[in-house]
Chains A and B, each alone.
Chain A
Amino acid sequence: QSVLTQPPSASGTPGQRVTISCSGSSSNIGSNTVNWFQQLPGTAPKLLIYTNIQRPSGVPDRFSGSKSGTSASLVISGLQSEDEAHYYCASWHDSLNAWVFGGGTKLTVL
């Protein structure tokens, strides 16, 4: 059972907008920022969003993040076939003194 809660799956057709949620508590998301990672099949994770909304260089602006209270969201606009991957949220957990991840969301592009 992951500390951060994500839906196990999401889907959309090319061009659509998809939102992936990440729910936490006052000990993690509620008091710290959120990062998002993309993991393509058979590869290492890749940083997609950090400090809630920042995109590393090279990440398309189709990917955006937001945070409100104890929840965060990743939005993918203009969905493309190459976006089919697992997506993970992460945040610092104060009382555990640890980074915690969501269980991951498998995104399928129909």
Chain B
Amino acid sequence: QVQLAQSGAEVEKPGASVKVSCRPSGYTLTGYYMHWVRQAPGQGLEWMGWINPDSGATNYAQKFQGRVTMTRDTSINTAYMELSRLRSDDTAVYYCAREFNSGVGNFDLWGRGTLVTVSS
């Protein structure tokens, strides 16, 4: 079964960092771009950036540049999103999403989401 398995919920203090993982099953990570999208409680979707798992190239939304790092480990077929200098308004569910055709934005496969809570 094709799916994306994300790591579990995290609780972090302001100023800390969090690293969320996303592991595809049923296909090879390097075959498709991986995007990260977040959703604050009761709010809409916000795109954070993408990684080309084959080359490692990344493109981050301007809002997150300098704070987000998207990486991958092809040996274990896993993508990661790390967000640093966390603030309370970073509290959100973070989703990874596969883009079936690069540049089209057809995010056809989503993880179940990882809740990151930032609280002192």
Q: Which residues of A contact B (CB under 8 A)?
A: 2, 33, 35, 37, 39, 44-47, 50-51, 54, 56, 86, 88, 90-92, 96-104
Contact = CB atoms under 8 A, between A and B. Distances in A.
Interface residues of B, number: 21
A99 B59 CA distance: 11
B45 A88 contact: yes
B107 A45 contact: yes
Contacts of A39: 45
Interface string B81-114: 0000000000000010100000111111011110
Contacts of A46: 110
A104 B95 contact: no
Interchain residue pairs A-B with the least CB separation, the first 7: A50-B106, A44-B110, A99-B47, A104-B44, A101-B45, A98-B61, A35-B105
A58 to B, nearest CB: 10
Interface of B: 35, 37, 44-47, 59, 61-62, 95, 97, 103-108, 110-113
Given A45-B95, A45-B110, A91 B46 contact: no
Given A44-B111, A44-B112, A46-B110, A99 B105 contact: yes
B87 to A, nearest CB: 19
Contacts of B113: 44
Contacts of A44: 95, 110-113
A91 B105 CA distance: 8
A38 B62 CA distance: 26
A91 B37 CA distance: 14
B62 A103 contact: no
Nearest to A103: B44
B62 A50 contact: no
B39 to A, nearest CB: 8
B108 A99 contact: no
Given A33-B104, A50-B105, A97 B47 contact: no
Given A47-B107, A51-B104, 9 more contacts: A45-B95, A45-B107, A47-B108, A54-B106, A92-B103, A92-B105, A98-B62, A99-B35, A101-B44
